[in-house]
Amino acid sequence: MALANRILSGLGIVKPKVAGMVFDKRITVEAKVTVPANTPANASNNIIFIIDPKVGEVTQYTIPKGFRFVLVDAYIKASGDVGVDGIAKLKRNFWLDHVITPPLSTMLVSNPSRPAIAGKAWEDGDIISGEFINTVATTEAKTNVFYLVFDIYKVPE
């Protein structure tokens, strides 16, 4: 039963239970990266996040004191969201590759065999940042857009 609950929570069907923490809300973060023209394969580019539309685009985000962000899903809305295929590396405090996605082209939200991505957490004070590694060369600038879903928990004082 515990395994089933973890699988379902990873799919966002039920809220995962985190000891001593209170579920606050679920947010969807838009992530995008533009790969410049004439970029060879395996190049790295910073991911831009829109976590709060009032703040706008950022390349890093610090988790507020008293909160925990748990990644529960990652997806693209349409195949046209992938200008050039590659993987995203979501980092914890700039250096730790906390989450590495499969190729973005496999993450279509309507794909029933879409790889599951879930369970990694960033604690209060941690910094979320990311880099995109394109797996193919590109001759013209291309932009990728994908989405990250986080459950936010309040940490008891």
What range does the domain containing 109 cover?
A: 19-154
Nearest CA among 155, 117, 128 for reference residue 24: 155
Q: Is residue 11 part of a domain?
A: no
CATH code for the domain in which residue 64 is found: 2.60.120
Q: Is residue 7 part of a domain?
A: no
Assess contact for 83 and 67: CB atoms under 8 A.
no
Q: Is residue 8 part of a domain?
A: no
Model confidence pLDDT, tens digit, residues 18-45: 567 899 999 999 999 999 999 999 999 9
Q: Is residue 5 part of a domain?
A: no
Give the number of domains in the chain: 1
Q: Is residue 12 part of a domain?
A: no
Model confidence pLDDT, tens digit, residues 127-155: 999 999 999 999 999 999 999 999 999 98
Q: Is residue 107 part of a domain?
A: yes
Q: Is residue 14 part of a domain?
A: no
| Residue 129 CB contacts under 8 Å (≥ 6 apart), including other chains | 46, 47, 59, 60, 61, 90, 91, 94
